[in-house]
Amino acid sequence: MSATGIHPAPHDVLVTSRPLDEYCALFGLTRARLAALPGPLLDCPGGAAGLAAEARELGCRVIAADPAYALPLPVVADRARAARAAMAAAMAARPHLYPPPHPHRPERYLRSWDRARRLFAADLAAHPQQYVAATLPRLPFADGTFALTLSGHLLFAYPELFGPESQLAALAELVRVTSPDGEVLVQPLCDGHGRRCGHLDPLRYALGERRIASEVRRCASAEDGRARRVLVLRTADRRRRAGARQSTVAGRSLCNGQ
């Protein structure tokens, strides 16, 4: 554990550096939606992404949370470079997991990570208060702080680190810190070998018992034309505030996805 009391990220978790456009493609977002958010966006885990730096240009305030931020910046940057090398190796070894356009131009794709990593490093140095050292399943934010929360390439990507109970606790925590009018978006819903999470339905049932509504949304990307599955969560209390009927809100009735 570091002097901050935060556990730095385990070394087998890659500290990736995706740019804003890739975030938009993965979560089914647009720059216009980000620009119109009525409050801050949480990116947890933030990794070495360019999102916070690039979104600022849109007028969107991003708070990135990640245990890696307890480490000195040069160490984080080293881990991000290692993640880039690991991604290059994975794309070469398992091209079927990286369908077009990536296999046709992997170097160009990886250069977008290089740019994002540089943006991240400069932004962390200039705006350290927007990069918070924190480890799921506990986040140091008040209830309902964020208008939108994103969680990419962690909770389902590393099943050896996040079993069903840990996933449930982490997802509930992400919902807690998100506004009742907002959403939590989580992707991918498979591990690093492309295997789908086998307990998604029971997990959604358990979320429903905690009054968390869930949906699996298919998000088509304008960027690469692919459709991806994104888990969308929101507190069921929004329904109560809107005066919706409450008789069937618990349990399975909250699982309204495909």
Ligand X SMILES: C[S@@+](CC[C@H](N)C(=O)[O-])C[C@H]1O[C@@H](n2cnc3c(N)ncnc32)[C@H](O)[C@@H]1O
- What are the residues binding ligand X (CB under 6 A)? 9, 13-16, 18, 44-45, 47, 49, 66-68, 135-136, 152-154
Q: By C-beta, is 67 or 182 nearer to ligand X?
A: 67
Strand pairing category for 62-65 and 41-43 = parallel
Q: By C-beta, is 20 or 236 nearer to ligand X?
A: 20
Contact 151, 185 (CB under 8 A): yes
Min separation Cβ 159 and ligand X, Å: 13
Return phi, psi of residue 183, to 5°: -140, 155
The residue to which tokens 């208060």 are assigned: 129
Q: By C-beta, is 19 or 208 nearer to ligand X?
A: 19
Pick the closest to residue 78 from 141, 15, 131 (CA basis).
Answer: 15
Cα 30 from Cα 23, distance rounded (Å): 9
Min separation Cβ 48 and ligand X, Å: 7
Min separation Cβ 150 and ligand X, Å: 7
Min separation Cβ 101 and ligand X, Å: 18
Min separation Cβ 246 and ligand X, Å: 33
Q: By C-beta, is 227 or 244 nearer to ligand X?
A: 227
Q: By C-beta, is 208 or 229 nearer to ligand X?
A: 229
Pick the closest to residue 203 from 191, 217, 189, 182 (CA basis).
Answer: 189
197 secondary structure, DSSP code: P
Q: By C-beta, is 52 or 236 nearer to ligand X?
A: 52
Cα 17 from Cα 98, distance rounded (Å): 17
What are the structure tokens assigned to 147, written together? Answer: 């208008």
CA distance to 134, 161, 229, 250, per residue, from 166 (Å): 15, 8, 21, 21
Q: By C-beta, is 26 or 147 nearer to ligand X?
A: 26
Cα 75 from Cα 132, distance rounded (Å): 16
Min separation Cβ 195 and ligand X, Å: 17
Min separation Cβ 209 and ligand X, Å: 23
146 secondary structure, DSSP code: E
Q: Say how many C-beta atoms besides its own lie within 10 A of residue 59's C-beta.
A: 10
Strand pairing category for 131-132 and 227-235 = unpaired
